[in-house]
Amino acid sequence: MSEDKSLTTDMLIIGCGIAGASAALEAAKSGLRVIVITKNSKLEESNTYYAQGGIVSLGLDDHPGLLKEDIIKSGDGINNPGAVEILASEGKKVVDDILFKELKIPFTRSSPDSLDYAQEGGHSRRRILHIKDTTGKTIEERFIEALKKYSNVTLLADHTAVDLLTVPHHSKNPTFYYEEPQCIGAYVLDNQSGKVKRIFAHYTFLATGGCGTIYLYTSNPKGAIGDGYAMAYRAGARIVNMEYIQFHPTSLFHRDADGFLISETVRGEGARLKTKEGRTFMENYNEKKELAPRDEVTRAIYEEMINSNSSYVYLDLVSYAKFDIKKRFPNIYRTCLKYGIDITREPIPVVPAAHYCCGGVLVDGWGKSSLKGLFAVGEVSCTGVHGANRLASTSLLEGLVWGTRASKHIASHFNPAMSYKPSDIHKWYYPEKEEEVDPALISQDWISIRSTMWNYAGIIRTNKRLERARADLDYLRHRIEKFYKEARMDEKVVGLKHGIQVALLITYAALSNPVSLGAHYIQD
Ligand SMILES: Cc1cc2nc3c(=O)[nH]c(=O)nc-3n(C[C@H](O)[C@H](O)[C@H](O)COP(=O)(O)OP(=O)(O)OC[C@H]3O[C@@H](n4cnc5c(N)ncnc54)[C@H](O)[C@@H]3O)c2cc1C
């Protein structure tokens, strides 16, 4: 079986969260032809959509130097100074120009004349703009609305990138081996038809977000399995800092809540962590108590859980709140209530959850990766802004700033980078006899990956645990690859292949770094 459908565009953007959407909007304004794909059937489904706390700008008594200091302190000093400078000095202007002026985002105000700046752990100032506790939802919806107005933008939902198209790897012509390796688009699965098409692009953007869902407990939605890291790795782009996986200290502990996040702003507004017996404990770990950096709060909770043989601790907001909880945290209030917890009357049971990947595809200040033609923006990239640990609420801003910068750069230096013809490049290969996929196998493989990552490559790592993870995951990878070659293509099979690759990337990175720093904590 073969297919002949292929598309050609100036920019292919894989992912439609804040990073992909802001890159698409900027490119659209400069008249470039853009195709944006997302593997979900809903355009808005992404980590961005679920962001609660807000987006960093600059507060009233604030300046870029203070923000820079906070970012570097949180990142344990291994941040890329140039990238931190870009974020701190350009961030506010991009927020003002795009979010306020262009998309007219209705950020929450404390009075008609002043914005309500929230505070989160690690920030020395109140500087986080929010729309109550559903910031990401509004931002994502406004971006999609804006993109739909451009005729030079094609939005394709239900399209899953399977692999990057690279030359010479996918070329038919042996003389291409003398050329510099280059990314020229992607093989993309149409989830509905089950067919893989080639989308050729002068510039290809990975904006595929993070990988929290390869862990058993995570705040991320189901789709966040790190597809972009896996595809970039297979294409030969440089990937760095994958051991720095940030765990969010507080997700709701409830059998059916699927990692629902209790935002850091809840602690910022005074809530305290307590053991099941009602004893506060953060003062024993850090003088900043509940506002200590995320990784320290996470390990403190983990330790208290182990010491008291408990599966959760409490986050007590009601004893400390001097405001109307329902008004300030309507989404958290409603969701907890759905699970039988009234946060205006009782403390919230919480556990840590995998939340953010500080590493990724190494890029420069314009989002350019080490592979010609390939850009990466947002969580899938590593600009170096976050160093060993991300400062809260800086990732939406990073996606917005780099998405915008990368497209501006391309628009002002546009030079059709791809000189290959579709006929030079292999079509997708389908096995002669495709096997029906048994969903039980996929589901069990995912359970193995997620449990292995949680137990052996999670919050507290040791060499023995990591070695065990490597052995188990390597074995699983062989089995998955064999299965992948024979299976009928669908997005679940593709996801599994990406997922096992990402689990191994994290495990190998953790094994090769014996130094505990930021979000990588190794005991031996
Ligand atoms: C619950 C929660 C709360 C958060 N709160 C905050 C906050 O308050 N402030 C903050 O700054 N950050 C927050 N974060 C982190 C932040 O949301 C993310 O880092 C950020 O949204 C990432 O944006 P992105 O555009 O890089 O990726 P995403 O928003 O995750 O978008 C990824 C896109 O890629 C698509 N995709 C993935 N793989 C493929 C594929 N193979 N083919 C096609 N499409 C694909 C997805 O469908 C999606 O469209 C939070 C995260 C979570 C999970």
**What is the rounded average pLDDT for all residues in the chain?**
94
Residue identifier of the C-alpha nearest atom 4 of ligand 1:
51
Which among 14, 45, 47, 398 is the best mutation to test ligand 1's pocket, defined by most ligand atoms within 8 Å of the CB?
47
**Residue 5 — pLDDT band, cuts 50, 70, 90?**
confident
- CA–CA separation, 397 vs 362, rounded Å? 18
Confirm or reject: Cβ of 161 under 6 Å from ligand 1: yes
**Residue 1 — pLDDT band, cuts 50, 70, 90?**
very low
Which is the closest atom of ligand 1 to the Cα of 494? 41
Which is the closest atom of ligand 1 to the Cα of 56? 11
Confirm or reject: Cβ of 52 under 6 Å from ligand 1: yes
Please state the rounded mean pLDDT for residues 124-140. 94
Please state the rounded mean pLDDT for residues 304-325. 91
Please state the rounded mean pLDDT for residues 52-58. 93
Which among 162, 395, 397 is the best mutation to test ligand 1's pocket, defined by most ligand atoms within 8 Å of the CB?
395
- The percent of the chain in helix, strand and coil, each rounded to the nearest 5, is 40, 20, 40
Please state the rounded mean pLDDT for residues 2-11. 80
Among 15-24, 29-38, 65-74, 115-124, the minimum mean pLDDT is found in 115-124
Residue percentage of the chain with pLDDT more than 70: 99
- CA–CA separation, 211 vs 241, rounded Å? 13
Residue identifier of the C-alpha nearest atom 53 of ligand 1:
220
pLDDT tens for residues 196-251?
999 999 999 999 999 999 998 899 999 999 999 999 999 999 999 999 999 999 99
Which is the closest atom of ligand 1 to the Cα of 403? 25
Residue identifier of the C-alpha nearest atom 31 of ligand 1:
17
**Residue 314 — pLDDT band, cuts 50, 70, 90?**
very high
Per-residue model confidence (pLDDT) at position 435:
87
Please state the rounded mean pLDDT for residues 286-295. 89
**Residue 311 — pLDDT band, cuts 50, 70, 90?**
confident
Res 427 pLDDT > 60: yes
pLDDT tens for residues 499-522?
999 999 999 999 999 999 999 999
- Cβ atoms of residues 354 and 220 within 8 Å: yes
Which among 48, 120, 129, 225 is the best mutation to test ligand 1's pocket, defined by most ligand atoms within 8 Å of the CB?
48
Closest CA to 298 of 342, 243, 375, 355: 355
Query: How far does the centroid of ligand 1 lie from the alpha carbon of residue 127, in Å?
Result: 21
Confirm or reject: Cβ of 403 under 6 Å from ligand 1: no
Q: What's the Cα-to-Cα distance from 507 to each of 156, 242, 410, 454, 456, rounded to whole Å?
A: 33, 8, 35, 11, 9
- Cβ atoms of residues 242 and 356 within 8 Å: no
Res 4 pLDDT > 90: no
Res 484 pLDDT > 90: no
Confirm or reject: Cβ of 40 under 6 Å from ligand 1: yes
Burial (0-12, 13-18, 19+ Cβ within 10 Å), 490? middle
Confirm or reject: Cβ of 53 under 6 Å from ligand 1: yes
Res 35 pLDDT > 80: yes
Please state the rounded mean pLDDT for residues 36-58. 96
Q: What number of CA atoms fall less than 13 Å from residue 56's CA on the CB side?
A: 30
Query: How far does the centroid of ligand 1 lie from the alpha carbon of residue 519, in Å?
Result: 19
Confirm or reject: Cβ of 20 under 6 Å from ligand 1: yes
Please state the rounded mean pLDDT for residues 425-440. 88
- CA–CA separation, 86 vs 402, rounded Å? 9
**Residue 2 — pLDDT band, cuts 50, 70, 90?**
very low
Please state the rounded mean pLDDT for residues 427-456. 91
Confirm or reject: Cβ of 128 under 6 Å from ligand 1: no
| CB burial string 232-256: b at 16+ within 10 A, e below | bbebbbebebbbbbbbbbbbbbbee
Confirm or reject: Cβ of 48 under 6 Å from ligand 1: yes
Query: How far does the centroid of ligand 1 lie from the alpha carbon of residue 77, in Å?
Result: 25
Q: Of the spans 179-183, 362-366, 433-437, 483-487, which averages the highest pLDDT? A: 362-366
Please state the rounded mean pLDDT for residues 22-29. 98
322 token code pair: 């001097």
Confirm or reject: Cβ of 218 under 6 Å from ligand 1: no
Which is the closest atom of ligand 1 to the Cα of 16? 49
Assign 506 to helix, strand or coil: helix
Residue identifier of the C-alpha nearest atom 35 of ligand 1:
15
More confident residue, 5 or 170: 170
Positions marked catalytic: 294
